[in-house]
Amino acid sequence: MNQLEIQGSEKSFFERRITRHEFVKEISIVAAGILGGCTPLKIVFNAFPERFSKDAHLCEQMLRAFVTTVIPGAVNNDTNLIRIFRDTYYPFCGYCDFFVSDLAARSANLFGDDQFDRLTRQQRAAVVRDGLDGDATIERLYQGAIFMSQVSYYAGIYDDEKGCPLIDFHGSNYGFGEEEMYYTNSSLYLASEATSDGNYS
Amino acid sequence: MKTIFTEVLVVGSGFGAAPPALRLRKAGFDVLMIEKGPDLIPERDFRQTQDPKYLLSYLKGIGNDQLGFTYAEALGGGSGFYEMISLRAPSKVFQQTDNDGRSLWPAGINRDVLNPYYDIAEEMLHVEQIRPDEVPKSGVVFSLLMKNLGYTCDRAPYAVNGCVGSGYCVTGCLFGAKQSLHLNYLPEAKDAGLRILTDTEALDVTTLIAHPASTSQVRHVPSIPHRYEIRCRNTTSGEEFLIHTKILVLGGGTIGTAKLLLNSCRKLRFLGRHVGKNIAINGSVKAAGIVPEGFPEGDMFTGRSHPGMISYQFFDSMGITISSAKPLPLNVVASAHLTLAGEGGHNSYWGQDNVEMMKMYRRRMIVLYALGLTPPCAEIRRTGENLFESQLDLTPDLRHYYKQTEAILHSIFERNGCRVLNIANIDHEGREYPDIHFTTTHMIGSCRMSDTKDNGVVNSYGEVFDYPGIFVADGAAIPSSLAVNSSLTILANAERIAAHIVSTHEHESRPRIRMITERELN
C-alpha cells in the first residue's frame, strides 16, 4: 500500500507542468523533508486522495472510529473526542488528513472497505496494528495518533470539569470530604517508622 | 541601550533565588530580581487542568533518549508546581566521594551545618510532618505494602497549610494551601522593597572592570564598584537592556544557571571547565503495580498530590529511599506505556487491554519511585547561540543501579501479591525510548560547590572561583544526589549562602540615604 502511494505521488509530481522556479522550490522542500527525516514525499505533496482533505464529515467519522478503537468505551459522540487532531497547537494537525487517508487505504487493503469507521472493532484494531507495523514514518504517525488520543481522553484536556468518567477521574473540584481522602483507621495499616519526624539522620 | 543599576541582582525567583533576595533586601541592600518566566499570581493564574498548553507555558524540558530534565520558568520557579514534600538530606549524603575518593561536598558542609538553615526554611514554608489520619489512601496502601514485609515507612514532612485535597497540587494550588514561594518569601521580600522584573531573560554576563578579583577584599558595599554587566532581554517585547550590579546571585536553577554561565564562558574566561558538568540526577527509578483483590484501595485522584510516605528501609544498605506517587492521568499517559502481562505475553498499551488497566488506575494501582545516591553523571552543553543539549553517561554502574533498584521495587509488589506493570518510557510523540531512560525534576550540581577550582565552579559559600561577588545559590551548587526531594536542601543552602553574603558585607541602609539625598535636593 505504501508503494502504491509513493507511485501516485511521483505521477502527480511529474505530470504537472511547473516552472523551473517552482521545480527548484519543490525539490528543495522535498530535500528538506527527506533530510529532516520527518515528512515523507507523499505528505509534502498532499499526495493522497483529495476527498480526505475536503470531506470534513468523512474525516471526522474515521477519526472518531480511530479513537474508540484505541480507547474502547470512549463515547463516540463526545464533543471533544477528536478535537486534539485539529488543534493547531500540535504538529499532528498538519498530518491529520494524510493519516485519515492512510487509515482508509489500510482498511481497503485488509478488508476491502476503505471506510475505516464501517469496520468491526476487531477489524479496526487490525488496521491500527498494521499501521504500527508500517515503515518508520507511518509507525511514527500511528504512535502519535494513539498518544494524542490517550492524552486528550484520559486527561480530559478540553473539559477541565468533566475529567474522564471512563476511569473515574473527576476533573477540577473544590476538594473532598475526609472519608473520601483518608482511612479512619489508617494507623492499623501504617508500618513502623525509622525516624521521629520523617527526616532520616 | 538602557542600563539599570543595582547593588544586587538576583537571577531567578525559585528556591535558590528567593532566600538571598529576601535576606539581602532586609539587610538594606538594593536588590533587583529578574525572572525569565511570566509573573504568576496563584489565585489568578493557577488552573486545575491537565491541558498541555497551560502546563507547557510554565514547565520546560531538556533531554535525549537516556535522560529527561523538567524545570519551571515562572515567578516562584518550581515552587508553584512541586509536590510539597520537604525533606532534609540524610547525613550520609554529605559523605559521598567521587571515583578518586575525593569528597563531593566541600569540607565543613554537612547535615549539622545545614540544620539551622533547614529550620529557617521549614518555618518559612510551615513544614510539618503529616498526621497519621491525614495520610492519603495511596500512602496508606504503600505503607501497608512495606509493613507486610517487615519494613519501616515514615510519614513525610509537608509544606502545606489548610489542604482541601483537590489533588491538583502539581498544576498549582488554587486554595493558598500549598506553600509555594508566592505565599512567603516573595511577598515578604516585596514588602521589604524588592523589585522584580518578570519576562526577563539574562542572556550573558561580562565584567565591567579589568580585574574583578582585585575587588575581593572590598566588603563595604557602597565602595564596591559596579563590576558585572548582565545583558537581558524582555521575552515578550524582545527588547534588550543591561543591568550593572555589584553582587550577582544566580538562582535560575540547575539548568538555567548552567545555561547563563555557558553563554558567558567567552566573557568570563576564568570560569573553568566544570560549568554545565557533574549534574547529579538523584537516581529516580519508577515502578507500578496493581494491588490484589481484598487489599485496601488507594486513590490516585483525591487528596494531596504526594501520598505522604517515605521509606528509608534501603537507605543504609542500597543508598535509596522509596516513596509512592499519585500522578494525574496526563502524567501517566504522556510519559510511559504501561502494560500488564497477559496471557501469551504483554498486553497492549492501547485498546481494550489498556482501558481495563486504566479502569484500575484510580483505586488499585500503586506507583513507587526510588531516589538514590547516583554519582554526578550528566551534563548540559552549549551547541550554539542559546542552544543546548543534555548528555548522560550511562555507565555499567548506573545501568546496574537502575536494574537493581527496579528489582527491589518489583520485589515489594510481588511479595505482596501485586501484579507488576511493565513501564516503557515514551517521548513527546509517544515513541518508546530504546533503552533505560531517567527522568527527574531533581537535577542538581551543574555548577557545583567544591574546595578547589579543579573540582568545581563555586566555593563552599557559592561564590564563583576568581569572580568575587558572583554567587550560585540554587540547585546548580549542590554537588551530589540527595536521595530525597531536593527543594528543602536547595532552600536551606540558599539561606546559608545569603547569611554568608550579609555577614561578610558591610552595608548602610540604602533607603535611608536616598531619603536624605532627596530632601537635600529639594
Strand ordering across the sheet containing B59-63:
B59-63, B67-72, B438-440
pLDDT for the residue numbered B102: 96
Inter-residue contact B476 to B448 (CB < 8 Å) = yes
- Name every chain B residue with its beta carbon within 8 A of the beta carbon of A175: 164-166, 175
* Closest chain B residue by Cα to residue A164: B329
Lowest-confidence segment of A88-102, B28-42, B155-169, B499-513 by average pLDDT: B499-513
Distance CA B171, CA B174 (A): 9
- Name every chain A residue with its beta carbon within 8 A of the beta carbon of B50: 155-157, 160
Distance CA A46, CA A106 (A): 18
Compare CB distances from B333 to A140, A151, A184 and report the shortest one's residue: A151
Nearest-CA distance from A6 to chain B in Å? 24
- Name every chain A residue with its beta carbon within 8 A of the beta carbon of B429: 140, 143-144, 147
- Going from N- to C-terminal start, the domains of chain A cover 7-47, 49-171
SS3 for B160-207 is ECCCCCCCCHHHCCCCCCECCHHHCHHHHHHHCCCEEECCEEEEEEEE
- Tally Cβ neighbours within 10 Å of residue A180: 13
- A150 contacts B50? CB cut-off 8 A: no
Task: Go through A19-41 and write b for each residue having 16 or more CB atoms within 10 A of its CB, e for each that does not.
Answer: eeeeeeeeeeebeebeeeeebbb
Structure confidence by residue, pLDDT tens digits, B443-467? 999 999 999 999 999 999 999 999 9
Distance CA B10, CA B232 (A): 13
A164 is written with which cell numbers? Answer: 474522564
Compare CB distances from B334 to A151, A170, A199 and report the shortest one's residue: A151
Confidence of residue B343 (pLDDT cuts 50, 70, 90): low
- B329 contacts A198? CB cut-off 8 A: no
Structure confidence by residue, pLDDT tens digits, B349-369? 999 999 999 999 999 999 999
Pick among A193, A196, A201 to test the B interface (most B CBs inside 10 A) = A193
* Positive or negative: CA dihedral B390, B394, B397, B398: positive
Pick among A130, A149, A150 to test the B interface (most B CBs inside 10 A) = A150
Mean pLDDT within B212-216: 86
Share of chain B above pLDDT 90, in %: 92
Helix (H, G, I), strand (E, B) or coil at B298: coil
pLDDT for the residue numbered B212: 86
- B152 contacts A194? CB cut-off 8 A: yes
The greatest distance separating any two alpha carbons of chain A, rounded to the nearest whole angstrom, comes to 82
Structure confidence by residue, pLDDT tens digits, A95-104? 999 999 999 9
- Tally Cβ neighbours within 10 Å of residue A68: 21
- Sketch out chain B's domains with CATH numbers: 1-84+87-124+174-276+444-522 (3.50.50.60), 130-159+284-372+395-435 (3.30.410)
Distance CA B462, CA B494 (A): 9
Inter-residue contact B493 to B478 (CB < 8 Å) = yes
A184 is written with which cell numbers? Answer: 479512619
Chains A–B, number of C-beta pairs less than 8 Å apart: 185
Distance CA B302, CA B323 (A): 18
- A128 contacts B48? CB cut-off 8 A: no
Q: Which residues of B, range 88-147, sit inside 8 Å of A by Cβ? A: 88, 90-91, 111, 129-130, 132-137, 140-141, 143-144, 146-147
Nearest-CA distance from A168 to chain B in Å? 7
pLDDT for the residue numbered B218: 87
Structure confidence by residue, pLDDT tens digits, B250-305? 999 999 999 999 999 999 999 989 999 999 999 999 999 999 999 999 999 999 99
Distance CA A172, CA A155 (A): 11
Pick among B43, B47, B49, B328 to test the A interface (most A CBs inside 10 A) = B49
- Tally Cβ neighbours within 10 Å of residue B192: 17
Mean pLDDT within B392-416: 97
Structure confidence by residue, pLDDT tens digits, A7-54? 333 333 333 444 445 444 544 444 444 344 445 555 555 567 777 778
- Name every chain B residue with its beta carbon within 8 A of the beta carbon of A182: 133-137, 303
pLDDT for the residue numbered B22: 98
- B302 contacts A180? CB cut-off 8 A: yes
Inter-residue contact B41 to B187 (CB < 8 Å) = no
- A172 contacts B49? CB cut-off 8 A: yes
Average pLDDT, chain B: 94
pLDDT for the residue numbered A24: 47
Compare CB distances from B140 to A73, A148, A190 and report the shortest one's residue: A190
Mean pLDDT within A120-135: 96
Share of chain B above pLDDT 70, in %: 97
pLDDT for the residue numbered B468: 96
- A175 contacts B49? CB cut-off 8 A: no
- Detail the DSSP E strand segments found in A104-196: none
- A189 contacts B144? CB cut-off 8 A: yes
pLDDT for the residue numbered B519: 44
Confidence of residue B386 (pLDDT cuts 50, 70, 90): confident
pLDDT for the residue numbered B219: 86
Share of chain A above pLDDT 70, in %: 77
Confidence of residue B213 (pLDDT cuts 50, 70, 90): confident
SS3 for B421-468 is EEEEEECCCCCECCCCCEEECCCECCCCECCCCCCCCECCCCEECCCC
Nearest-CA distance from B91 to chain A in Å? 6
Q: Nearest-CA neighbor of B285 among B89, B142, B170, B423? A: B423
* Closest chain B residue by Cα to residue A122: B351
Is some CB atom of chain A closer than 8 A to the CB atom of B238? no
Task: Give the rounded distance of the alpha carbon of A200 from its chain centre.
Answer: 46
Nearest-CA distance from B285 to chain A in Å? 20
Ramachandran area for residue B390 (φ above 0: left; ψ -120 to 50: alpha; else beta): beta
